[in-house]
Amino acid sequence: MAGLPPEDSERVSTMKAASPRMAVVLILVLGTLVGGLVEPLSSAHWDSPIYLYQAKRFAETDLAKSFATHSRTIAAQVSERSWPESETFPASFWRFMRLGNVAILGSVAGLADDPLTGMRLAGWVYACFLAAAAAMTFLAVRDLGTVFGVPDERAHTSAAAASAILYIASPIYWYLSANFLSEIPALFVLAATLLLFLRAALAQSVVLGICAGGLAAALYGVRMDSALTALALMVPLTAALRLKAPRYFSYRVTAATALTALLGFAAYSLYFYPLTDPRLVVALRQVLAEGPRASGVAGYHAVFVAGGLLWIGAAMALVSRRSLTLTALGLVWLVLTLLPRARGFSGTIHARILADVMIPLSLLSAVGLSAGFSTRRSGIASAWRPSLIAIVAVFVLALSLERPYEWLRELPGLWRLQDVREFVVPPRYERNDYRAGELGKIAAGVYGQGPGTISGFRDRQVAFPIS
């Protein structure tokens, strides 16, 4: 491998040869099954039907061209605060910020003639996005152990896989699986960008760096807010490579990644400017902050809900002395990822907005859990650690499931578990059951043209059971 000393090239080759394919397959299968078997819109955020309607517009009209044509008008609604009186905020620009998610959803669901089939197909695709994000994050965390060095690479790999499975078992994962939110494809692209950049550093490959930069540019189109998260991950990682692992740092790879991302952003802006101006995102956040207080849980509750079971290992990492470089990098990532949402912590915030904390918490969790998988551990505390992790995980899962929770709460003195549950499960008002199957039957009865036909679009079966 060009650019690496012989001993490092041998180390990277050994890592590839020992690639934990079984762990990747297990994560993908479990994640897809958990997500795909959840009925779409059965426990969904109210933004999901909004995305469905916008996706219908994308499937039947040239929505992208419409945004380009009216770009200056929509931008002025934000900068000059002149949005229509019928709206409480500049909704048109908010929809543009998630145009990539709308395009994905409309393209996938529009493949089916039957609306409910199309929605279920989209549900499986989004489940695959989530599962792939977990799998790629596992691989990225494993690569970080190779780059910066860990006491026991095998234990680190096992801990990274366990962290991915813990995330899949978390209530936040089940919740996201029932949604069509922009956070889901954004998390997929974000994890892919990080993994490709790490592989580019390991292989000293400019081509992989260009691919990572292309994905970073695509992330801006999928969900503009997530571009800040990409910066929060990539900038500290690049600095850590330069300072702590200079043999894997390459100016050529770094420049190729950054230049490709900038060129992708320029190409996107060439068509949609001024809507791509980052200052509009800041202006919109200011408008939302000054508007009526939105419903949501306290900010510190949402952080724990968004991290799910990953907090078990992350807490262990904070008190351990293993892999201090990775622990420091994970903490920097976590702080910088949360920083743009700092205003929300003084009030309320939705847990799904913080979905991208999964990546820094996965790194911290792997560091914390690695001691329990290490063959070098000694002492009673180390021997009991895996059992303790399992007990805590089962307890958290019991709190997240309705029937076990109701049974526990009936026991004397355990009614206060409701206070603990607020840190585990997304709040009930964010989990709405839209009963898509029943809506399809109602539409069939009302319009009499087969299940789910939508009024106003009788010339074509539209892949959504709402008008």
Res 467: pLDDT: 30
Question: Residue 409: inside a domain, yes or no?
Answer: no
Between 389 and 239, where is the model more confident? Answer: 239
Residue ending a domain, among 265, 293, 321, is 293
Q: What is the DSSP string of 181-221?
A: -THHHHHHHHHHHHHHHHHHHHHT-HHHHHHHHHHHHHHHH
Res 431: pLDDT: 78
In this predicted structure, the answer to whether residue 425 has a pLDDT above a threshold of 70 is: yes
Question: Residue 434: inside a domain, yes or no?
Answer: no
Mean pLDDT for the chain?
81
Q: For residue 116, name the pLDDT band (cuts at 50, 70, 90).
A: confident
In this predicted structure, the answer to whether residue 275 has a pLDDT above a threshold of 70 is: yes
Question: Residue 169: inside a domain, yes or no?
Answer: no
First-to-final CA distance of the chain: 56
* Least-confidence region, from 384-393, 403-412, 457-466: 457-466
Question: Residue 8: inside a domain, yes or no?
Answer: no
Res 335: pLDDT: 94
Q: What is the DSSP string of 324-352?
A: HHHHHHHHHHHHHHHGGGGGGGGSEE-GG
Q: For residue 463, name the pLDDT band (cuts at 50, 70, 90).
A: very low
Res 17: pLDDT: 39
Res 439: pLDDT: 67
User: Minimal CA–CA distance to 80: which of 279, 268, 248?
Assistant: 279
Question: Residue 117: inside a domain, yes or no?
Answer: yes
Res 265: pLDDT: 94
Mean pLDDT of the region 127-145: 95
Tokens of 129: 């996005």
Tokens of 348: 């309320």
Residue ending a domain, among 293, 317, 347, is 293
Are the C-beta atoms of 167 and 310 separated by less than 8 Å? Answer: yes
Question: Distances from the Cα of 412 to the Cαs of 391, 401, 450, in angstroms?
Answer: 21, 19, 53
Q: CA–CA separation, 353 vs 332, rounded Å?
A: 19
Q: For residue 409, name the pLDDT band (cuts at 50, 70, 90).
A: low
Question: Residue 312: inside a domain, yes or no?
Answer: no
Q: 228 is in which domain, residue-wise?
A: 21-153+176-293
**Tens digit of each residue's pLDDT (9 = 90 or more) over 308-341:** 889 988 988 888 777 889 999 999 999 999 988 8
Question: Residue 317: inside a domain, yes or no?
Answer: no
Residue ending a domain, among 293, 310, 332, is 293
Are the C-beta atoms of 210 and 260 separated by less than 8 Å? Answer: yes
Res 207: pLDDT: 95
For the chain, give the percent of residues with pLDDT over 70. 76
* Least-confidence region, from 57-61, 78-82, 91-95, 463-467: 463-467
Number of domains in the chain: 2
In this predicted structure, the answer to whether residue 18 has a pLDDT above a threshold of 50 is: no
In this predicted structure, the answer to whether residue 211 has a pLDDT above a threshold of 80 is: yes
Q: For residue 152, name the pLDDT band (cuts at 50, 70, 90).
A: confident
**Tens digit of each residue's pLDDT (9 = 90 or more) over 246-255:** 999 999 999 9
Question: Residue 421: inside a domain, yes or no?
Answer: no
Tokens of 128: 């695959």
In this predicted structure, the answer to whether residue 200 has a pLDDT above a threshold of 70 is: yes
Between 197 and 169, where is the model more confident? Answer: 197
Res 239: pLDDT: 95
Task: Give the other-Cβ count within 10 Å of 188's Cβ.
Answer: 23
